[in-house]
Structure 1
Amino acid sequence: MNTPLRCLLIDDEPLAQELLLDHVAQLHSLDIVGVASNALQAIELYQTLKPDLLLLDINLPRMNGYELLGSLPGKAPWVIVISGYQEFAFEGFENNVVDFLLKPVVFSRFVRAITKVQERVQALDAVGSAVGSVTAGNVPSNQLAIKDGKTMVNVACQDIILVEAMSDYVKITLPDRVLVSHQRVSALEKMLPAPLFVRVNRSFIINTTKIRQTDGQQIEMQSGQRVPVGTTYRSVVSSIIRTAL
Protein backbone atom coordinates (compact mmCIF):
# COMPACT_ATOMS: atom_id res chain seq x y z
CA MET A 1 0.00 0.00 0.00
CA ASN A 2 1.61 3.24 -1.16
CA THR A 3 -0.80 5.82 0.26
CA PRO A 4 -0.75 6.05 4.08
CA LEU A 5 -3.98 5.40 5.93
CA ARG A 6 -5.31 8.66 7.36
CA CYS A 7 -6.06 7.99 11.04
CA LEU A 8 -8.18 9.81 13.59
CA LEU A 9 -7.21 8.94 17.16
CA ILE A 10 -10.07 9.15 19.68
CA ASP A 11 -9.05 8.67 23.32
CA ASP A 12 -9.53 10.79 26.44
CA GLU A 13 -6.46 9.46 28.28
CA PRO A 14 -3.29 11.53 27.64
CA LEU A 15 -0.96 8.60 28.34
CA ALA A 16 -2.87 6.33 25.98
CA GLN A 17 -2.79 9.06 23.31
CA GLU A 18 0.96 9.42 23.74
CA LEU A 19 1.58 5.67 23.43
CA LEU A 20 -0.56 5.29 20.32
CA LEU A 21 0.96 8.36 18.66
CA ASP A 22 4.37 6.83 19.26
CA HIS A 23 3.24 3.55 17.69
CA VAL A 24 1.83 5.36 14.66
CA ALA A 25 5.06 7.34 14.23
CA GLN A 26 6.94 4.07 13.69
CA LEU A 27 4.79 3.09 10.70
CA HIS A 28 5.12 4.83 7.33
CA SER A 29 1.78 3.32 6.31
CA LEU A 30 -0.11 5.51 8.81
CA ASP A 31 -0.69 9.24 9.08
CA ILE A 32 -2.42 10.80 12.09
CA VAL A 33 -4.67 13.60 10.81
CA GLY A 34 -6.36 14.43 14.12
CA VAL A 35 -6.70 13.62 17.81
CA ALA A 36 -9.97 13.87 19.74
CA SER A 37 -10.57 13.54 23.48
CA ASN A 38 -14.35 13.18 23.43
CA ALA A 39 -17.13 12.06 21.12
CA LEU A 40 -18.38 15.51 20.09
CA GLN A 41 -14.91 16.62 19.12
CA ALA A 42 -14.42 13.33 17.28
CA ILE A 43 -17.62 13.80 15.23
CA GLU A 44 -16.55 17.30 14.23
CA LEU A 45 -13.06 16.16 13.21
CA TYR A 46 -14.47 13.15 11.39
CA GLN A 47 -16.77 15.32 9.28
CA THR A 48 -13.93 17.73 8.48
CA LEU A 49 -11.03 15.31 7.96
CA LYS A 50 -12.83 12.23 6.56
CA PRO A 51 -10.23 9.75 7.90
CA ASP A 52 -9.77 6.23 6.57
CA LEU A 53 -9.28 4.68 10.00
CA LEU A 54 -10.46 5.35 13.55
CA LEU A 55 -8.33 4.33 16.53
CA LEU A 56 -11.23 4.37 18.93
CA ASP A 57 -11.34 4.19 22.71
CA ILE A 58 -14.64 2.98 24.18
CA ASN A 59 -14.76 4.78 27.53
CA LEU A 60 -15.35 8.36 26.38
CA PRO A 61 -17.15 11.17 28.25
CA ARG A 62 -20.91 11.53 27.62
CA MET A 63 -21.01 9.09 24.68
CA ASN A 64 -19.12 5.79 24.46
CA GLY A 65 -17.19 4.69 21.40
CA TYR A 66 -19.89 2.37 20.02
CA GLU A 67 -22.52 5.08 20.37
CA LEU A 68 -20.13 7.38 18.54
CA LEU A 69 -19.84 4.91 15.67
CA GLY A 70 -23.61 4.81 15.36
CA SER A 71 -23.81 8.59 15.09
CA LEU A 72 -21.22 9.06 12.33
CA PRO A 73 -22.67 10.24 9.01
CA GLY A 74 -22.00 8.53 5.69
CA LYS A 75 -20.11 5.32 5.02
CA ALA A 76 -18.40 3.93 8.13
CA PRO A 77 -14.59 4.07 8.23
CA TRP A 78 -12.30 1.22 9.22
CA VAL A 79 -12.20 0.93 13.00
CA ILE A 80 -9.74 -0.49 15.50
CA VAL A 81 -11.20 -0.44 18.99
CA ILE A 82 -8.89 0.19 21.93
CA SER A 83 -9.99 -0.41 25.51
CA GLY A 84 -8.83 -1.44 28.93
CA TYR A 85 -11.81 -3.79 29.27
CA GLN A 86 -11.99 -7.13 27.48
CA GLU A 87 -15.79 -7.29 27.88
CA PHE A 88 -16.20 -4.65 25.18
CA ALA A 89 -14.64 -6.95 22.57
CA PHE A 90 -17.79 -8.88 21.58
CA GLU A 91 -19.80 -5.73 20.93
CA GLY A 92 -16.88 -4.49 18.86
CA PHE A 93 -17.08 -7.34 16.43
CA GLU A 94 -20.86 -6.95 16.28
CA ASN A 95 -20.10 -3.43 15.05
CA ASN A 96 -17.83 -4.87 12.35
CA VAL A 97 -14.61 -3.40 13.76
CA VAL A 98 -11.40 -4.76 12.30
CA ASP A 99 -9.69 -5.54 15.60
CA PHE A 100 -9.89 -5.04 19.35
CA LEU A 101 -6.77 -4.03 21.30
CA LEU A 102 -6.38 -4.10 25.06
CA LYS A 103 -4.61 -1.25 26.84
CA PRO A 104 -1.75 -0.73 27.20
CA VAL A 105 -1.36 -1.51 23.52
CA VAL A 106 1.78 -3.51 22.70
CA PHE A 107 3.51 -2.36 19.50
CA SER A 108 3.65 -5.82 17.89
CA ARG A 109 -0.09 -6.28 18.48
CA PHE A 110 -0.75 -2.82 17.07
CA VAL A 111 1.17 -3.72 13.90
CA ARG A 112 -0.91 -6.88 13.48
CA ALA A 113 -4.12 -4.85 13.72
CA ILE A 114 -2.92 -2.33 11.14
CA THR A 115 -1.92 -5.19 8.83
CA LYS A 116 -5.49 -6.51 9.05
CA VAL A 117 -6.81 -3.11 7.98
CA GLN A 118 -4.39 -2.95 5.06
CA GLU A 119 -5.38 -6.43 3.90
CA ARG A 120 -9.05 -5.46 3.96
CA VAL A 121 -8.40 -2.21 2.12
CA GLN A 122 -6.53 -4.11 -0.59
CA ALA A 123 -9.31 -6.72 -0.84
CA LEU A 124 -11.93 -3.97 -1.09
CA ASP A 125 -9.96 -2.16 -3.79
CA ALA A 126 -9.75 -5.38 -5.79
CA VAL A 127 -13.47 -6.10 -5.42
CA GLY A 128 -14.32 -2.48 -6.19
CA SER A 129 -12.30 -2.61 -9.39
CA ALA A 130 -14.23 -5.64 -10.56
CA VAL A 131 -17.61 -4.14 -9.63
CA GLY A 132 -16.69 -0.81 -11.24
CA SER A 133 -15.58 -2.53 -14.41
CA VAL A 134 -18.88 -4.32 -14.74
CA THR A 135 -20.89 -1.19 -13.87
CA ALA A 136 -19.06 0.78 -16.54
CA GLY A 137 -19.88 -1.84 -19.12
CA ASN A 138 -16.34 -3.18 -19.34
CA VAL A 139 -17.46 -6.69 -18.55
CA PRO A 140 -14.73 -9.32 -18.83
CA SER A 141 -15.10 -11.21 -22.08
CA ASN A 142 -13.89 -14.46 -20.52
CA GLN A 143 -15.74 -17.48 -21.83
CA LEU A 144 -15.65 -20.95 -20.33
CA ALA A 145 -16.42 -24.19 -22.12
CA ILE A 146 -18.37 -26.21 -19.53
CA LYS A 147 -19.26 -29.86 -20.08
CA ASP A 148 -22.80 -30.29 -18.79
CA GLY A 149 -23.38 -34.04 -18.90
CA LYS A 150 -22.49 -34.93 -22.49
CA THR A 151 -23.02 -31.41 -23.83
CA MET A 152 -20.41 -28.67 -24.13
CA VAL A 153 -21.83 -25.27 -23.15
CA ASN A 154 -20.08 -21.95 -23.79
CA VAL A 155 -20.62 -19.76 -20.69
CA ALA A 156 -19.75 -16.09 -20.20
CA CYS A 157 -18.06 -15.77 -16.81
CA GLN A 158 -20.03 -12.65 -15.87
CA ASP A 159 -23.28 -14.65 -16.23
CA ILE A 160 -22.30 -17.13 -13.52
CA ILE A 161 -24.09 -16.35 -10.25
CA LEU A 162 -22.34 -18.91 -8.08
CA VAL A 163 -20.51 -22.22 -8.12
CA GLU A 164 -21.16 -25.00 -5.62
CA ALA A 165 -18.81 -27.92 -5.01
CA MET A 166 -20.32 -31.41 -4.86
CA SER A 167 -17.46 -33.90 -4.39
CA ASP A 168 -16.01 -34.43 -7.91
CA TYR A 169 -18.72 -32.28 -9.51
CA VAL A 170 -19.60 -28.59 -9.53
CA LYS A 171 -23.02 -27.03 -9.85
CA ILE A 172 -22.92 -23.75 -11.78
CA THR A 173 -25.91 -21.46 -11.36
CA LEU A 174 -26.75 -19.19 -14.31
CA PRO A 175 -29.70 -16.76 -14.59
CA ASP A 176 -31.76 -19.23 -16.63
CA ARG A 177 -30.43 -22.68 -15.78
CA VAL A 178 -28.07 -24.79 -13.67
CA LEU A 179 -25.15 -26.75 -15.14
CA VAL A 180 -23.59 -29.80 -13.49
CA SER A 181 -20.03 -30.48 -14.58
CA HIS A 182 -17.66 -33.31 -13.69
CA GLN A 183 -14.69 -31.36 -12.31
CA ARG A 184 -13.37 -30.19 -8.97
CA VAL A 185 -14.23 -26.71 -7.72
CA SER A 186 -10.53 -25.93 -7.19
CA ALA A 187 -9.88 -26.45 -10.92
CA LEU A 188 -12.78 -24.22 -11.93
CA GLU A 189 -11.75 -21.57 -9.39
CA LYS A 190 -8.43 -21.13 -11.23
CA MET A 191 -10.30 -20.38 -14.46
CA LEU A 192 -12.66 -17.79 -12.97
CA PRO A 193 -11.41 -14.19 -13.14
CA ALA A 194 -10.46 -12.69 -9.79
CA PRO A 195 -11.55 -10.53 -8.07
CA LEU A 196 -14.91 -10.81 -9.84
CA PHE A 197 -15.29 -14.21 -8.16
CA VAL A 198 -14.67 -14.80 -4.45
CA ARG A 199 -14.55 -18.04 -2.48
CA VAL A 200 -16.74 -17.58 0.61
CA ASN A 201 -16.51 -21.07 2.08
CA ARG A 202 -15.06 -24.47 1.14
CA SER A 203 -18.00 -25.25 -1.15
CA PHE A 204 -19.09 -21.96 -2.70
CA ILE A 205 -17.60 -19.38 -5.08
CA ILE A 206 -19.77 -16.33 -5.77
CA ASN A 207 -19.87 -13.60 -8.39
CA THR A 208 -19.46 -10.37 -6.38
CA THR A 209 -21.64 -8.42 -8.82
CA LYS A 210 -24.58 -10.77 -8.16
CA ILE A 211 -24.85 -10.10 -4.42
CA ARG A 212 -28.21 -8.77 -3.23
CA GLN A 213 -27.26 -8.31 0.42
CA THR A 214 -25.04 -9.70 3.17
CA ASP A 215 -24.65 -9.37 6.93
CA GLY A 216 -21.19 -10.91 7.00
CA GLN A 217 -22.50 -14.29 8.18
CA GLN A 218 -24.59 -15.10 5.14
CA ILE A 219 -24.82 -13.80 1.58
CA GLU A 220 -28.06 -13.55 -0.36
CA MET A 221 -27.56 -13.63 -4.11
CA GLN A 222 -29.75 -11.89 -6.66
CA SER A 223 -31.12 -15.33 -7.56
CA GLY A 224 -32.46 -15.65 -3.99
CA GLN A 225 -29.94 -18.30 -2.97
CA ARG A 226 -28.37 -17.90 0.47
CA VAL A 227 -24.74 -18.85 1.00
CA PRO A 228 -23.13 -19.20 4.46
CA VAL A 229 -19.79 -17.46 4.98
CA GLY A 230 -16.91 -19.56 6.27
CA THR A 231 -15.00 -18.22 9.26
CA THR A 232 -11.67 -18.05 7.43
CA TYR A 233 -13.26 -16.12 4.55
CA ARG A 234 -14.97 -13.42 6.61
CA SER A 235 -12.30 -10.75 6.11
CA VAL A 236 -12.96 -10.81 2.36
CA VAL A 237 -16.72 -10.75 2.87
CA SER A 238 -16.32 -7.85 5.32
CA SER A 239 -14.60 -5.94 2.53
CA ILE A 240 -17.51 -6.69 0.19
CA ILE A 241 -19.93 -5.31 2.80
CA ARG A 242 -18.16 -1.95 2.57
CA THR A 243 -18.91 -1.61 -1.13
CA ALA A 244 -22.22 -0.07 -2.17
CA LEU A 245 -24.36 -3.16 -1.79
Structure 2
Amino acid sequence: MNCIIIDDDKLSRTLLEKFVERTEYIDQYYSFPGAIEAINFIKKDEHEIDLIFLDIEMPDMNGVEFMQALGDHPVQIIVVSSKEKYALDAIEYNVTDYLLKPVTYFRFLKATEKALSKLREEMMPASNSKNDFFIRNNANLIRLCYDDVIWVEALENYIVVNTYSEKFTIHYTMKMVMDQLPVDKFFRIHRSFIVNRSKIDIIKATTIDVKTKDGYVSLPIGKSYRELLLKDINLLSK
Protein backbone atom coordinates (compact mmCIF):
# COMPACT_ATOMS: atom_id res chain seq x y z
CA MET A 1 0.00 0.00 0.00
CA ASN A 2 1.40 3.41 -1.02
CA CYS A 3 0.37 6.63 0.68
CA ILE A 4 0.69 10.42 0.72
CA ILE A 5 0.90 12.67 3.78
CA ILE A 6 -0.39 16.24 3.41
CA ASP A 7 0.02 18.54 6.40
CA ASP A 8 1.44 22.05 6.74
CA ASP A 9 2.32 21.39 10.40
CA LYS A 10 5.87 20.00 10.32
CA LEU A 11 5.62 18.26 13.71
CA SER A 12 2.37 16.54 12.78
CA ARG A 13 3.75 15.58 9.36
CA THR A 14 6.93 14.17 10.88
CA LEU A 15 4.93 12.12 13.39
CA LEU A 16 2.83 10.59 10.60
CA GLU A 17 6.00 9.82 8.64
CA LYS A 18 7.39 7.94 11.64
CA PHE A 19 4.14 6.00 12.02
CA VAL A 20 4.17 5.08 8.32
CA GLU A 21 7.78 3.88 8.54
CA ARG A 22 6.82 1.60 11.46
CA THR A 23 3.92 0.07 9.54
CA GLU A 24 5.17 -2.77 7.39
CA TYR A 25 2.22 -3.07 5.03
CA ILE A 26 2.77 0.50 3.81
CA ASP A 27 5.40 0.18 1.10
CA GLN A 28 6.11 3.76 0.07
CA TYR A 29 5.05 7.22 1.12
CA TYR A 30 5.36 10.76 -0.20
CA SER A 31 5.07 13.78 2.08
CA PHE A 32 3.91 17.31 1.24
CA PRO A 33 3.54 20.50 3.32
CA GLY A 34 0.66 21.71 1.16
CA ALA A 35 -2.31 20.45 -0.84
CA ILE A 36 -1.38 22.16 -4.12
CA GLU A 37 1.95 20.32 -4.37
CA ALA A 38 0.18 17.06 -3.57
CA ILE A 39 -2.65 17.47 -6.09
CA ASN A 40 -0.12 18.26 -8.84
CA PHE A 41 1.84 15.15 -7.89
CA ILE A 42 -1.28 12.97 -8.00
CA LYS A 43 -2.61 14.40 -11.27
CA LYS A 44 0.63 13.47 -13.03
CA ASP A 45 -0.53 9.88 -12.48
CA GLU A 46 3.06 8.61 -12.38
CA HIS A 47 2.71 6.87 -9.02
CA GLU A 48 0.10 4.46 -7.70
CA ILE A 49 -1.37 5.94 -4.52
CA ASP A 50 -3.78 3.97 -2.37
CA LEU A 51 -4.17 6.21 0.67
CA ILE A 52 -3.91 9.88 1.64
CA PHE A 53 -3.47 11.31 5.13
CA LEU A 54 -5.02 14.75 4.83
CA ASP A 55 -4.97 17.75 7.14
CA ILE A 56 -7.90 20.15 6.76
CA GLU A 57 -6.73 23.60 7.85
CA MET A 58 -3.97 24.55 5.41
CA PRO A 59 -3.14 27.79 3.54
CA ASP A 60 -3.69 28.23 -0.22
CA MET A 61 -5.82 25.07 -0.51
CA ASN A 62 -7.52 23.47 2.48
CA GLY A 63 -8.39 19.80 2.86
CA VAL A 64 -12.01 20.16 1.71
CA GLU A 65 -10.92 22.03 -1.42
CA PHE A 66 -8.33 19.32 -2.01
CA MET A 67 -11.00 16.61 -1.90
CA GLN A 68 -13.09 18.63 -4.35
CA ALA A 69 -10.10 18.98 -6.69
CA LEU A 70 -9.34 15.28 -6.39
CA GLY A 71 -12.75 14.41 -7.81
CA ASP A 72 -13.33 10.74 -8.54
CA HIS A 73 -9.67 9.74 -8.31
CA PRO A 74 -9.68 6.19 -6.85
CA VAL A 75 -7.89 6.72 -3.54
CA GLN A 76 -8.83 6.43 0.13
CA ILE A 77 -8.54 9.41 2.46
CA ILE A 78 -7.91 9.51 6.20
CA VAL A 79 -8.50 13.00 7.55
CA VAL A 80 -6.10 14.13 10.30
CA SER A 81 -7.31 17.24 12.09
CA SER A 82 -7.11 18.98 15.46
CA LYS A 83 -10.83 19.85 15.29
CA GLU A 84 -13.99 17.75 15.16
CA LYS A 85 -16.05 20.33 13.27
CA TYR A 86 -14.91 19.10 9.86
CA ALA A 87 -16.23 15.58 10.43
CA LEU A 88 -19.47 16.23 8.51
CA ASP A 89 -17.50 17.51 5.52
CA ALA A 90 -15.34 14.39 5.71
CA ILE A 91 -18.41 12.11 5.75
CA GLU A 92 -19.73 13.85 2.64
CA TYR A 93 -16.55 12.82 0.81
CA ASN A 94 -16.76 9.26 2.11
CA VAL A 95 -13.39 9.31 3.89
CA THR A 96 -12.09 6.07 5.35
CA ASP A 97 -11.46 7.48 8.84
CA TYR A 98 -11.13 10.72 10.83
CA LEU A 99 -8.19 11.08 13.22
CA LEU A 100 -8.02 13.78 15.86
CA LYS A 101 -4.63 15.27 16.71
CA PRO A 102 -2.53 14.40 18.58
CA VAL A 103 -2.68 11.02 16.84
CA THR A 104 -1.52 7.91 18.70
CA TYR A 105 0.05 5.00 16.84
CA PHE A 106 -2.72 2.69 18.06
CA ARG A 107 -5.38 4.93 16.49
CA PHE A 108 -3.25 5.36 13.36
CA LEU A 109 -2.93 1.58 13.05
CA LYS A 110 -6.69 1.03 13.37
CA ALA A 111 -7.33 3.56 10.59
CA THR A 112 -4.74 2.08 8.24
CA GLU A 113 -6.02 -1.44 8.90
CA LYS A 114 -9.46 -0.24 7.87
CA ALA A 115 -7.99 1.23 4.70
CA LEU A 116 -6.09 -1.97 3.95
CA SER A 117 -9.23 -4.04 4.49
CA LYS A 118 -11.20 -1.85 2.06
CA LEU A 119 -8.38 -2.04 -0.48
CA ARG A 120 -8.35 -5.83 -0.27
CA GLU A 121 -12.13 -5.96 -0.73
CA GLU A 122 -11.82 -3.83 -3.86
CA MET A 123 -9.18 -6.21 -5.19
CA MET A 124 -11.29 -9.30 -4.46
CA PRO A 125 -12.18 -11.07 -7.70
CA ALA A 126 -15.87 -11.07 -8.57
CA SER A 127 -15.59 -14.81 -9.11
CA ASN A 128 -13.16 -17.39 -7.80
CA SER A 129 -13.80 -19.71 -10.75
CA LYS A 130 -10.30 -19.18 -12.13
CA ASN A 131 -7.77 -21.46 -10.53
CA ASP A 132 -4.68 -20.52 -12.51
CA PHE A 133 -2.75 -17.64 -14.01
CA PHE A 134 0.15 -17.01 -16.41
CA ILE A 135 3.54 -15.50 -15.71
CA ARG A 136 6.02 -14.29 -18.29
CA ASN A 137 9.39 -16.04 -18.07
CA ASN A 138 11.72 -14.71 -20.77
CA ALA A 139 9.86 -15.25 -24.05
CA ASN A 140 7.51 -17.86 -22.54
CA LEU A 141 4.15 -17.63 -20.83
CA ILE A 142 3.88 -20.26 -18.10
CA ARG A 143 0.62 -21.39 -16.56
CA LEU A 144 0.63 -21.81 -12.78
CA CYS A 145 -2.15 -23.06 -10.54
CA TYR A 146 -2.78 -20.94 -7.46
CA ASP A 147 -2.69 -24.06 -5.30
CA ASP A 148 0.83 -24.90 -6.52
CA VAL A 149 2.28 -21.56 -5.40
CA ILE A 150 3.67 -21.73 -1.86
CA TRP A 151 5.14 -18.26 -1.50
CA VAL A 152 6.37 -15.28 -3.49
CA GLU A 153 9.55 -13.44 -2.55
CA ALA A 154 10.88 -10.06 -3.66
CA LEU A 155 14.63 -9.90 -4.33
CA GLU A 156 15.89 -6.46 -5.42
CA ASN A 157 14.52 -5.88 -8.93
CA TYR A 158 12.76 -9.19 -9.47
CA ILE A 159 10.31 -11.64 -7.93
CA VAL A 160 10.76 -15.35 -7.20
CA VAL A 161 7.63 -17.50 -7.34
CA ASN A 162 8.16 -20.67 -5.29
CA THR A 163 6.05 -23.70 -6.24
CA TYR A 164 6.20 -27.34 -5.17
CA SER A 165 8.18 -28.34 -8.24
CA GLU A 166 10.40 -25.35 -9.08
CA LYS A 167 11.15 -21.64 -8.76
CA PHE A 168 10.37 -18.98 -11.35
CA THR A 169 12.21 -15.66 -11.49
CA ILE A 170 10.20 -12.87 -13.06
CA HIS A 171 10.71 -9.13 -13.53
CA TYR A 172 7.65 -7.90 -11.71
CA THR A 173 7.16 -5.56 -8.75
CA MET A 174 5.64 -6.81 -5.50
CA LYS A 175 2.60 -4.60 -6.05
CA MET A 176 2.04 -5.99 -9.55
CA VAL A 177 2.06 -9.53 -8.16
CA MET A 178 -0.20 -8.65 -5.21
CA ASP A 179 -2.69 -7.01 -7.56
CA GLN A 180 -2.90 -10.21 -9.63
CA LEU A 181 -3.20 -12.74 -6.82
CA PRO A 182 -6.67 -13.32 -5.29
CA VAL A 183 -6.72 -11.95 -1.75
CA ASP A 184 -8.85 -14.84 -0.53
CA LYS A 185 -5.98 -17.21 -1.39
CA PHE A 186 -2.84 -15.15 -0.68
CA PHE A 187 -1.68 -12.98 2.21
CA ARG A 188 1.19 -10.54 2.47
CA ILE A 189 3.28 -11.31 5.58
CA HIS A 190 6.25 -9.01 5.03
CA ARG A 191 7.42 -6.27 2.69
CA SER A 192 9.20 -8.98 0.69
CA PHE A 193 6.94 -12.02 1.13
CA ILE A 194 3.48 -13.13 0.01
CA VAL A 195 2.29 -16.56 1.11
CA ASN A 196 -0.46 -18.92 0.02
CA ARG A 197 -2.91 -18.97 2.94
CA SER A 198 -3.53 -22.70 2.60
CA LYS A 199 0.21 -23.46 2.93
CA ILE A 200 0.58 -21.83 6.36
CA ASP A 201 1.08 -24.59 8.94
CA ILE A 202 2.54 -22.81 11.96
CA ILE A 203 2.39 -19.14 13.00
CA LYS A 204 5.19 -18.13 15.36
CA ALA A 205 6.14 -14.79 16.94
CA THR A 206 8.29 -13.57 14.04
CA THR A 207 8.03 -16.33 11.43
CA ILE A 208 5.56 -18.69 9.82
CA ASP A 209 6.26 -22.25 8.66
CA VAL A 210 5.13 -23.48 5.25
CA LYS A 211 5.46 -27.02 4.00
CA THR A 212 7.42 -27.84 0.84
CA LYS A 213 8.32 -31.17 -0.74
CA ASP A 214 11.64 -31.04 1.15
CA GLY A 215 10.15 -30.21 4.54
CA TYR A 216 9.28 -26.98 6.32
CA VAL A 217 10.56 -23.51 5.42
CA SER A 218 10.39 -20.57 7.85
CA LEU A 219 9.41 -17.21 6.38
CA PRO A 220 9.56 -13.87 8.25
CA ILE A 221 6.32 -12.22 9.27
CA GLY A 222 6.16 -8.55 10.25
CA LYS A 223 4.41 -7.55 13.46
CA SER A 224 1.70 -5.51 11.72
CA TYR A 225 1.05 -8.27 9.17
CA ARG A 226 0.90 -10.87 11.95
CA GLU A 227 -1.78 -8.89 13.76
CA LEU A 228 -3.83 -8.73 10.55
CA LEU A 229 -3.34 -12.44 9.91
CA LEU A 230 -4.47 -13.42 13.41
CA LYS A 231 -7.66 -11.42 12.90
CA ASP A 232 -8.24 -13.23 9.63
CA ILE A 233 -7.88 -16.87 10.67
CA ASN A 234 -10.21 -19.29 12.41
CA LEU A 235 -8.76 -19.52 15.91
CA LEU A 236 -10.21 -22.07 18.33
CA SER A 237 -10.61 -20.30 21.68
CA LYS A 238 -10.93 -21.79 25.14
- TM-score, normalized by length of structure 2? 0.50
Aligned letter for 2:120? Q
Equivalent residues, number: 129
**Within the alignment, does 1:101 sit opposite 2:72 as a pair?**
no
Match of 1:14 in 2: 10
The alignment yields a C-alpha RMSD, in angstroms, of 2.1
Structure 2 distance, partners of 1:24, 1:100, is 16
The equivalent residue for 2:68 is 70
CA contact (8 A) 1:9 1:32 kept: no
2:35 maps to: 39
Aligned to 1:118: 116
The 2-side partners of 1:33 and 1:84 are apart by 22
What displacement does 1:74 show?
5.0
Secondary structure at the residue paired with 1:86? coil
In structure 2, how many angstroms separate the alpha carbons of the residues matched to 1:67 and 1:32?
25
Distance 1:64 1:77 in 2: 18
Q: CA deviation at 1:42?
A: 0.8
Moved over 3 A (4+): none
In structure 1, stretches of 5+ residues that fail to align are 140-194, 196-245
State yes or no: 1:29 paired with 2:36: no
- The percent identity for this pair of structures is 33
* Separation in structure 1 between the aligned mates of residue 120 and residue 89 of structure 2, nearest angstrom: 25
Partners of 1:54 and 1:79 within 8 A in 2? yes
Equivalent in the alignment of 1:84: 82
Whether the aligned pair in 2 keeps the contact of 1:6 and 1:32 (CA below 8 Å) is: yes
Per-residue CA deviation, residues 22-77 of structure 1 (Å, 9 max, x unaligned), is 11111111134311111210111212434111011111112111111111255231
Answer whether contact 1:8 1:46 (CA < 8 A) is retained. Answer: no
CA contact (8 A) 1:36 1:45 kept: no
Q: Which moved more, 1:31-40 or 1:96-105?
A: 31-40
Larger of the two Rg values belongs to structure: 1
Amino acid of the structure 1 residue aligned with 2:34: N
Paired with 2:114 and 2:59, the residues of 1 have a C-alpha distance of 29
| Counterpart position of 1:58 | 56
TM-score where L is the length of structure 1: 0.49
More deviation, 68-77/55-64: 68-77
> Where is the helix percentage greater, Structure 1 or Structure 2?
1
